[in-house]
Amino acid sequence: MSSPIAAVTTRLLRVPLLRPWAADVTEVGVIAVTVRAEDGAIGEGFSWTPSIGARAVQAMIDDDLAPFLQGRPSSPEVWDQAWVHVHEAGGGGVTTIALAGVDLALWDLRARRRSLSLTELLGRRHDRLPVYGSGVNLHYSLDELVAQVRRWVQSGCRAVKIKVGRPDLAEDLDRVAAVREVLGPDRELFVDANQRWDLDAATRAIPALAAHGIGWIEEPLRADDLAGHAELRRRIDVPVALGENLHTVHRFRDFLDAGAVDVVQPNIVRVGGVTPFLRIAELAREREVRLAPHLLPELSAQLAFALPETCWIEDVEQAGFAQLGALRTPTGLRIADGWATGGPAVGLGMSFVDATASTVPGATATPAAPAAGGSR
């Protein structure tokens, strides 16, 4: 049996984005989590959320998870017990985002004990995976968007993803046509509506956009609208991608059972960490649908390298933790010529800056009072 957990501690960092994702999305919140076992072993993980809810996530860890986990085995197998414990506050959302911080730390601890990276611990299947350039760019001018796509092409990306959902469909069509011209016929073009349409608007927009050759339409409707996605899937021929705002394997199963999705996109943090992500990946494999992890390439690639299928890795321009100055040291992941390679030598390799390291470019930290289960 693993040495019992002695303490779970947290630190909240506010990490400014180099370019805002929207007028009200100018930073991401990172809750750095450390799990210390009674034998002295340490694991480091994190929870993450853009702008909204970081303090709520930290409070869930400090007030509810840390006391519950103290004395339990320092092993990822405690995930299910912890999920049941916090389920009264919701099956997913703040609860699963909080669980992710602990789960990632426990996987990091397990890998460190064996002097392996997370990828090698799980069993490496790939030395490299294809990357698609991604941007939160609906608010970009057409010239800015085209310039961004040109940068991705020059960097070797074989696919790109852009945002759609302007009030006037004609604007979306002009933007997609301009991007397709830059890409040429042989690169993939994915489009993401970020839940901006209703069913009728999506039914009108998607066939028109499809004339420019799109590989998938991402989150065309509100993420909670299972019936709407199922109906939309019956109306269109373009593959539907979704999952960044689904929080449990049970919800992913609902969408798969309804025939509402062709590409599942779990965000490793939002679903609760490595443990549930691997279950979702297995479910996608059983149902023979594609898997494309959402965001967080420095983490997503580590898991994707260990999956039997080949997954696209999403790389949002100027948004990696290393680019934002949030990490103490590089993870070892390399993105170049359209491929993701490398990774950390041991554990997750994702150690975040200290609360006192406010001079690190692009990152600030918010110190807080001592946490339940240990000081921060």
Residues 15 and 51 in one domain: yes
Q: Considering the domain boundaries, does residue 374 fall inside one?
A: no
Above pLDDT 90, what percent of the chain? 91
204 token code pair: 């009108």
Q: Are residues 311 and 164 in the same domain?
A: yes
Domain that holds residue 38: 5-115+351-366
Is residue 163 part of the annotated active site? The answer reads: yes
pLDDT tens-digit profile of 248-266?
999 999 999 999 999 999 9
> What per-residue confidence (pLDDT) applies to 305?
98
Q: Per the domain annotation, does 375 fall within a domain?
A: no
Please give the pLDDT value at position 23: 85
pLDDT tens digits for range 74-94: 999 999 999 999 999 999 999
Give the active site residue among 161, 163, 229, 247: 163
Within a domain: residue 372? no
Could you give the number of structural domains in the chain? 2
Cα separation, 112 vs 106, whole angstroms? 10
258 lies in the same domain as 226 = yes
Same domain, 58 and 125: no
Contact present, 269 and 245 (Cβ < 8 Å): no
pTM equals: 0.93
**3-class SS at 369?**
coil
Count CB atoms within 10 A of the CB of residue 204: 12
How far, CA to CA in Å, does 146 sit from each of 23, 179, 191, 213, 214? 21, 6, 14, 17, 16
Q: Is residue 371 part of a domain?
A: no
What residues pair up with 36 in beta bridges, in sequence order?
7, 42
Output DSSP code: residue 76.
G
259: left (phi over 0), alpha (psi -120 to 50) or beta: left
**Cα separation of 173 and 167, whole Å?**
12
Please confirm, yes or no, whether 161 is among the known catalytic residues: no
Residues 331 and 361 in one domain: no
Choose the catalytic residue: 161, 229, 247, 294. Answer: 294
- The domain spanning residue 306 has which CATH number? 3.20.20.120
Q: What is the mean pLDDT of the chain?
A: 93
- Dist CA 254 CA 321 (whole Å): 32
Predicted pLDDT at 139: 95
- Do 182 and 73 reside in the same domain of the chain? no
Q: Same domain, yes or no, for 80 and 146?
A: no
Is 179 in the same domain as 237?
A: yes
Q: Is residue 53 part of a domain?
A: yes
The reply to whether 26 and 54 lie within a common domain is yes
- In this predicted structure, what is the pLDDT of residue 355? 55
**pLDDT the model gives residue 57:** 98
Half-sphere exposure of 278 (CA within 13 A, CB side): 19
213 with 86, same domain: the answer is: no
> Are residues 183 and 171 part of one domain?
yes
